Structure 1
């Protein structure tokens, strides 16, 4: 299957540059994955499509303000650091620009010197292994100095950092938000729980690889990035009981979907575990556990549109996307949502 099979015309003005004032008032396209039938609704109407006993699975990861601007000690040259993955307590895999200034042994300072860094290794992929030096708690220092690492397609500055976090975010570690969850408000989640819908949480720390284009012409040759996940026993029980009762497991976002499909056994059961997943889901994949999916509208030729095409089929999804463009749905992180069932 070719990358170009997942191409469509996306006018640049449909890539949402900022979140709506109210999270749950984005638009919602409801798609029957088998027939292709479409309803146009508002996101808070999602409750009408949820049934008592269903289980919504949310990714409770929290985005780090992982972009740091600093200067090289000695020359004062301006530098940009993007924290990708914690390797040890104060050692991170980091994307550094400009890379030519970031040789092993080079040191850098951020803010008024509250944070310093030293490059200790250049990795095979060109990223740097960096050790940070500071006083106090690293997360607090990062919170005061760092900026949200918005995707490259969003060029406007985000005024409120919390709008790039879900209302239930808890486990710090992502370089990008699990954006399908951005549509939920506390009030909407309470209404969903009152209807008898179960809520379960997984953690998958989203890496910047989620924005990496598929460069292989044949999608089977694309190598996915690895991302850390965790599911505890209590949430595993909620998910398993949902399956045993014949009700639906509904993944909120491709990150929850990938986590569940990585963990589930061939009988669609899960258990407490953690690790790294590089699962790549594209048409032909047989889903083991996920019955329905809430997701945003993704970019052409991305691994994310390939995943949702696997959940339905390519023709139905590409038709739905063309209808979304015609109807001026908003795309990507701050855009509108789709419920595929």
Structure 2
């Protein structure tokens, strides 16, 4: 597939989001997505972009402190990487932040955006927007014990508390506790009456409100999340903001990440083909299989790699039907890849 065509004006803007000069990792990131952005997914994404900031799935403080597994595990190749924490107890968050910093994470992010009932019952996520003093205490507790950045991912409002003044008050109180980076989902959260799935589309996104946050708080780093489906849109948002966080599109159409370093970070890297990305993933797969991990846990993140290409459906079907079988190895991946013509890469008619 041909690379996206970016206008000269947009192309020049890629290096200076909101006039800040050379872009940082916050310029572009992939959203933390529960059950999606696990360590296998992040390793796969990193093969296509070295600069993008990657986020873990949200991990609760309870899981880290009381769980039996290693909820902080990741590969060194995943840097820069941010741990997203879910919780509302300042002491517990500080304890987890300190553990994460000791493990080498590049950033700690507090979830103040998830609207699900399960998260609300745990008193974290979007419901915390209604308790800015508590969020401030949480941020300060973490800032007091780590030297790495502590950031907050939030919404523009919750339920009927959706005025710009409400958002301002929240940001100012959390800022005064030491947070200088906010990732703002441009849709308010409905904590009752809508399911999280419905809340993905209702109410409408309000990008101008996030732009106004940056205008009014120029000294803060403000990134936008919600509804971004292309790098062209990303460049447009970067005319107003410091960063963009992409979610489902980056997961479902991961090959767009192969253009990120050059288009958004001003690199001049050779762009690997889709087949080359698969080949680069094979040693990692072999290593994980040797540890007793399942092939399907890795290949499920790769199903969209050949999106819109001839053979994409056969690639997905072969992996879906065979990677889950007992004893499945990398030959399954090689056989699936063989179903996609490497040259020329012709757009599929599906």
Q: TM-score, normalised by structure 2?
A: 0.25
Going by fraction, where is strand more abundant, 1 or 2?
Answer: 1
Higher relative contact order (CA 8 A, sep 6+): 1
Normalised by the length of structure 1, the TM-score is: 0.25
